[in-house]
Amino acid sequence: MLIALTGDQEFFRETTERFLAELVPADTVRALRDDPAGFDPVYWRRGAELGWTSLLVDEAHGGGTISGAGLVDLSLVAYEFGRHAAPGPLVPTNVVAAALSTHGAHPDVLAGLLSGDAVATWCGPVVGPDGWRPTVEARREGAGFVLHGEARVVESAGQAAHLLVTCADGDGATQLLVPADAAGVAVAPMETIDLSRRFGLVTFDGASFGADAVVGTAGASAAAVDRQLAISVVLLNAESVGAMQAGFDMTVEWAFDRYSFGRPLASYQALKHRFADMLMWLEAAHGISDAACIAVQDETPEAAELLSAAKAYVGEYGAELLQDCVQMHGGIGITFEHDLHLFLRRLTVDRSLAGTPADHRQRIAAIADATSAEDAA
């Protein structure tokens, strides 16, 4: 991270780093490949005790921040998650917790998320170059709603007790918090290359819920969804930068330790040039990710553009950097026993969530066009 941290923030980051190094070292992450949940519930509860699920929750609802800027504080956790390829539903749980806190909804569910005793996830919209689109339809029936459709690539869908569902509701959007085991709701596991994260396909086939399931205002949740997507992208970017940092550090150490023709690999000019490129990409990724995080935290006018710029840049050059790291390690870099692939897997999944780099480049172009049109007018 390039953000200048306060003493409390640095202590919080270091505590998270030590906790992850102790509880989920690389060997443990590799072993989670065959774990149905992808994480240990006791580990998650202990993480919640450290504050992983409370930073976007108002103090009145049991949450609190380290610095007064909850999203910046949470990005420190996401960064360490990336550096350790750590398991756990960090992004979806915090998105749901923030939504419930903002609207003062379902305090019993929120209490379970804060303690780590329960997991909730977000059945969010599909994100593309033209923005987002719900894939679940809410049909009004009396005072309640009947849901039809499916939400794809839902993190920890099989482990979640509750689902925050973003629905198309006429010309607007409605969000409902529903039990994952409700009638008419089915969860099917999906395959992923990330060893410790699980995703699912959630199908709604006539699932019926009352008005008390609504989070926010029915038909007027577009702004809330925008905020949830912004939070998700900030955390995915921070995680990806952490993975880039871990891969780069590992490769630099390897290049000094590995000798070829009596010289360390790091001494060869051609490799020095590649390392210079990689370091430039890494430092730029830190900078744009941090700038977007602060802009979203402060809700500045340029937040949307910075956020898409960060998602596009980190996704594009993060993959390039980690692929170079694999190449520099030679044959050992493509073995399952080596740690490097854990970070490449994490970044590869993160870059595809909440819009691809190509999607976000097109969104930047649309924002630029809109700005030019306003200036011309």
CATH code for the domain in which residue 164 is found: 2.40.110.10
Q: Tell me which residue range forms the domain holding 87.
A: 7-118
Write out pLDDT tens, residues 126-155. 999 999 999 999 999 998 999 999 999 999
Same domain, yes or no, for 200 and 266? no
Average pLDDT over residues 104-130: 97
Q: Is residue 113 part of a domain?
A: yes
Indicate which CATH number applies to the domain containing 57: 1.10.540.10
Same domain, yes or no, for 204 and 254? no
Dihedral over alpha carbons 281, 328, 247, 245 (to 10 degrees): -30
Q: What is the pLDDT of residue 335?
A: 94
Scanning the chain, the segments in alpha helix (DSSP H) are 7-23, 26-31, 41-50, 70-84, 90-103, 107-115, 222-257, 269-298, 303-329, 340-352, 357-376
Same domain, yes or no, for 305 and 228? yes
Same domain, yes or no, for 368 and 237? yes
Q: What is the pLDDT of residue 126?
A: 96
Indicate which CATH number applies to the domain containing 251: 1.20.140.10
Give the span between the Cα atoms of 323 and 371, in whole angstroms.
Answer: 36
Total number of domains in the chain: 3
Q: What is the pLDDT of residue 1?
A: 58
Q: What is the pLDDT of residue 358?
A: 97
Same domain, yes or no, for 36 and 57? yes
Same domain, yes or no, for 234 and 332? yes
Enter the tokens of residue 195.
């060893």
> In whole numbers, what is the pLDDT of the chain averaged over residues?
95
Q: Is residue 1 part of a domain?
A: no
Q: Is residue 31 part of a domain?
A: yes
Give the span between the Cα atoms of 281 and 355, in whole angstroms.
Answer: 20
Average pLDDT over residues 42-52: 98
For residues 322 and 370, the model is more confident at 322
**Structure pTM?**
0.96
Same domain, yes or no, for 240 and 341? yes
The domain boundary, picked from 118, 148, 180, lies at: 118
Q: What percent of the chain has pLDDT over 70?
A: 99
Residue 232 has pLDDT above 90, yes or no: yes
Q: What is the pLDDT of residue 237?
A: 98
Q: Is residue 2 part of a domain?
A: no
Same domain, yes or no, for 231 and 346? yes
Same domain, yes or no, for 240 and 355? yes
Same domain, yes or no, for 198 and 213? yes
Write out pLDDT tens, residues 56-110. 999 999 999 999 999 999 999 999 999 999 999 999 999 999 999 999 999 999 9
Q: What is the pLDDT of residue 2?
A: 58
Same domain, yes or no, for 83 and 160? no
The domain boundary, picked from 118, 133, 152, lies at: 118
The domain boundary, picked from 97, 118, 139, lies at: 118
Q: What is the pLDDT of residue 374?
A: 72
Same domain, yes or no, for 166 and 229? no
For residues 259 and 248, the model is more confident at 248
